[in-house]
């Protein structure tokens, strides 16, 4: 395999996985990104595991919780399983199910049992209880800090001309990324425990697993669903004027809206501006401060609105039966935990955008340095260039060549000892011996059934027709506005409480996740039935193969 500079080694006897990590960082982490963000990601993970749960020990100057392999972020599943096994209300098996489904049956070695002492369990339980009592206060404090950091970054970008000074501001904010990231990981861990206890209580009163997940997922205050709801409101407003709707349907430029003399056009333009102001820090790959988001590339918002016109109806949610007693209390606790975890994610993304604003402003003031070369440098090298040093182009060219060799090769869902790669995805590489395949099994992601044609998407920028079944390797929250125009969602990876799955349930869109091979087994135009209750995709009709 091609050697990729800055990749981290496998720790002995560790299992590494892209599960969940692929939602957070779906693409290659460029040398620049990894050089300043990798230590913060590790610090965040260890803040959760070592401080909040007292279940792991950091490696000074190294990586224990995560790593970079073939340029992608991987999680050390062995460490995550240990934390889950020791934490109150969860087990390593629960973590496996949420990440992979029935992974052990698919070849993943089971987590070894009997290795933890009573003292290990007691320390983690005590730390977890302390964290549960204090985490909400920490979240509020970090939310205020993230908002202030973004405001400060915008002011600095507008008023400062020296790239060195801008990068000094960047350095001040960077530790907040590790803080908010760690709190987000902790909130997700507490969510896992709360969901496990709630589904167990519901099971004891005869509620099935899928129905239990649907009950827990009735979340009116979900942070990740707010952009979709706002886009729906803009679409409803635009539909009042066919000229405005036509501009949005074509993803037309802003000046086309300004040229229409009508109250609807003016209200729609103002609503789009307000959307970008409130959610401009969100987007695909939004955890990465070097990636574009809605605020830095408004054309991405226009593409989302084009599909948003397809469905201006309110989310389709079943009525809440109003559970009482212990089960009702645990369901409410699990819902609150999910909402809390999504709020902590927004804190990370807002901090990421503050870094993005400062980094972008610094690069604009370094004219000899193009973006592609900048991404291939390390952060110390970038700072040296900002101070007037020469651009190390040979280093940049070598690193770009290394990453080009692995960029289109997706690592396997998990690897042991050495990195494994998944089969390639896409219509040009789909399996050819699939004529007899009748259905694809996965996890029940969001209830409901839908029958429609398939569109396999490699990224959220790919086009599709309204009403298609979106099939993707993985989706993150920034994909979810596309769900407004889709009949259903099918993914290769993801769990019952991944970000996008939660939002799909909130929007009432059927979803089947963790199919492992849907992007290989399905091609554009295949007619399928997506059964989100059973976790199955039934193939009704194959499109003609070339």
- Per-residue pLDDT of 120-153, as tens digits, reads 989 999 999 999 999 999 999 999 999 999 999 9
Please choose, from the candidates 95, 150, 222, the residue with its C-alpha nearest in 3D space to the C-alpha of residue 480: 222
Phi, psi of 159 (to 5 degrees): -120, -15
Radius of gyration of the chain (CA): 23
Whole-number pLDDT of residue 345? 92
In contact, 153 and 167? CB cutoff 8 Å? no
Angle between helices 263-279 and 242-249 (to 10 degrees): 40
Give the DSSP letter string of 332-399: HHHHHHHHHHHHHHHHHHHHHHHHHHHHHHHHHT-TT--HHHHHTS-HHHHHHHHTTPPP-HHHHHHH
Q: What is the spatial distance between Cα 412 and Cα 493, in angstroms, rounded to a whole number?
A: 11
Q: Measured between alpha carbons, how far is 294 from 348 in angstroms, rounded to an integer?
A: 16
CA–CA separation, 237 and 99 (whole Å): 39
Angle at CA of residue 332, ends 331 and 338, nearest 5°: 90
Tell me which long-range contacts 148-152 makes (C-beta under 8 A, separation of at least 24): 149/173, 149/176, 149/350, 149/351, 149/354, 150/281, 150/350, 150/351, 150/353, 150/354, 150/357, 152/354
Residue 372: how many other CB atoms lie within 10 Å? 10
| Per-residue pLDDT at 221 | 64
Say how far apart CA 240 and CA 236 lie, in whole Å.
7
DSSP symbols for 48-102:
IIIIIS------TTS-SSEEEETTEEEEEHHHHHHHHHHSTT--HHHHHHHHHSS
> 98-107, 360-369, 496-505 — which is least confidently predicted?
98-107
Q: 429 pLDDT band (50/70/90 cuts)? A: very low
Largest CA distance in the chain: 72
Q: Domains of the chain: which residue ranges? A: 15-218+325-401, 223-308, 439-541
Instruction: Say yes or no to pLDDT of 431 above 60.
Output: no
Q: What is the pLDDT of residues 172-217, one digit of tens each?
A: 999 999 999 999 999 988 988 888 888 889 888 888 877 787 788 7
Residue 319 DSSP code? P
- Measured over the CA atoms of residue 296, residue 159, residue 155 and residue 266, the dihedral's sign is negative
Assess whether pLDDT exceeds 60 at residue 333.
Answer: yes
**Do residues 517 and 490 make contact, with C-beta atoms less than 8 angstroms apart?**
no
Instruction: Determine the CATH number of domain 439-541.
Output: 3.50.30.10
Q: Parallel, antiparallel, or unpaired: how do β-strands 488-491 and 511-513 relate?
A: parallel
Instruction: Give the 3-state secondary structure of residue 282.
Output: coil
Residues in contact with 456: Cβ distance below 8 Å, sequence separation at least 6, in sequence order: 425, 426, 427, 471, 472, 519, 522, 523, 524
3-state secondary structure of 317: coil
Packing angle of the helix pair 325-364, 499-507 (nearest 10 deg)? 120
Between CA 342 and CA 338 the distance in angstroms is: 6
Per DSSP, the three-state class of 531 is: strand
Q: 390 vs 424, which has greater pLDDT?
A: 390
pLDDT at 73: 97
| Cα gap 412→108, rounded to integer Å | 12
* Spatial contact of 116 and 86, defined as CB atoms under 8 Å apart: yes
Cβ-contact 295, 287 below 8 angstroms:
no
Enumerate the H helices of 160-225 as residue ranges: 163-204, 209-216
Q: What are the pLDDT digits (tens) for 197-209?
A: 888 898 888 888 7
DSSP code of 47? I
Band (pLDDT 50/70/90 cuts) for residue 459 is: confident
CB 400 within 8 A of CB 372: yes
In 3-state terms, what secondary structure has residue 416? strand
Does 252 score more than 50 pLDDT? yes
Helix (H) or strand (E) holding 130: helix 118-159
In sequence order, the β-bridge partners of residue 456 are 471
Predicted pLDDT of residue 502: 75
CA distance linking residue 42 with residue 65, whole number of Å: 6
Contact, 526 vs 435, CB < 8 A?
A: no
- Is 414's pLDDT higher than 80? yes
pLDDT at 15 over 80: yes
As a whole number, the mean pLDDT across the chain is: 88
């Amino acid at each position: 395999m091609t050697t990729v500079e800055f990749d981290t080694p496998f720790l002995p006897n560790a299992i590494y996985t892209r599960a969940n990590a692929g939602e957070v960082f779906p693409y290659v982490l460029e040398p620049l990104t990894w050089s300043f963000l990798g230590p913060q990601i590790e610090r965040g993970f260890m803040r959760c595991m070592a401080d909040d749960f007292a279940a792991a020990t950091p490696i000074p100057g190294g990586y224990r919780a995560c790593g970079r392999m073939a340029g992608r972020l991987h999680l050390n599943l062995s460490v995550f399983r240990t934390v889950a096994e020791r934490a109150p209300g969860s087990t390593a098996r629960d973590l496996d199910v949420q990440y992979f489904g029935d992974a052990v049956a698919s070849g993943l070695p089971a987590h070894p049992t009997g290795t933890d002492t009573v003292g290990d369990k007691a320390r983690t339980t005590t730390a977890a209880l302390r964290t549960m009592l204090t985490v909400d206060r920490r979240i509020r404090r970090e939310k205020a800090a993230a908002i202030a950091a973004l405001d400060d970054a915008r002011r600095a970008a507008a008023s400062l001309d020296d790239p060195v000074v801008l990068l000094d501001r960047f350095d001040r904010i960077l530790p907040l990324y590790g803080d908010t990231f760690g709190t987000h990981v902790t909130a997700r861990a507490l969510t896992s425990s709360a969901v496990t206890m709630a589904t167990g209580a519901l099971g004891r009163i005869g509620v099935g697993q899928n129905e239990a997940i649907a009950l827990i997922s009735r979340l009116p205050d979900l942070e990740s669903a707010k952009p979709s709801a706002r886009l729906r409101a803009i679409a409803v407003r635009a539909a009042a004027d066919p000229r405005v709707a036509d501009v949005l349907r074509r993803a037309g430029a802003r000046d086309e809206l300004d040229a229409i003399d009508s109250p609807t056009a003016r209200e729609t333009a103002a609503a789009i501006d307000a959307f970008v102001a409130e959610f401009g820090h969100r987007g695909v790959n939004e955890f990465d401060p070097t990636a574009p988001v809605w605020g830095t590339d408004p054309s991405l918002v226009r593409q989302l609105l084009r599909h948003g016109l397809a469905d201006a109806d309110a989310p389709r949610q079943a009525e809440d039966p109003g559970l009482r007693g212990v089960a009702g209390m645990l369901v409410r606790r699990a819902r609150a935990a999910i909402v809390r975890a999504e709020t902590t994610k927004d804190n990370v993304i807002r901090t990421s955008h503050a870094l993005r604003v400062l980094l972008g402003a610094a690069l604009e003031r370094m004219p000899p340095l193009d973006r592609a070369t900048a991404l291939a440098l390390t952060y110390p090298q970038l700072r040296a260039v900002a101070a007037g040093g020469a651009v190390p182009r040979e280093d940049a060219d070598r690193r770009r060549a290394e990453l080009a060799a692995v960029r289109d090769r997706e690592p396997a869902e998990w690897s042991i000892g050495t990195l494994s790669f998944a089969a390639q995805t896409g219509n040009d590489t789909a399996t050819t011996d699939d004529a007899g395949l009748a259905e694809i099994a996965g996890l029940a992601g969001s209830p409901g059934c839908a029958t429609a044609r398939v569109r396999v998407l490699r990224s959220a920028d790919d086009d599709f027709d309204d009403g298609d079944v979106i099939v993707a390797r993985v989706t993150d929250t920034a994909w979810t506005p596309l769900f407004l125009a889709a009949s259903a969602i099918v993914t290769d990876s993801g769990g019952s409480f991944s970000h996008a799955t939660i939002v799909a349930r909130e929007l009432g869109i059927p979803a089947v996740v963790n199919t492992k091979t849907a992007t290989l087994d399905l091609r554009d135009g295949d007619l399928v039935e997506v059964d989100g209750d059973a976790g199955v995709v039934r193939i009704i009709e194959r499109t003609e193969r070339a």
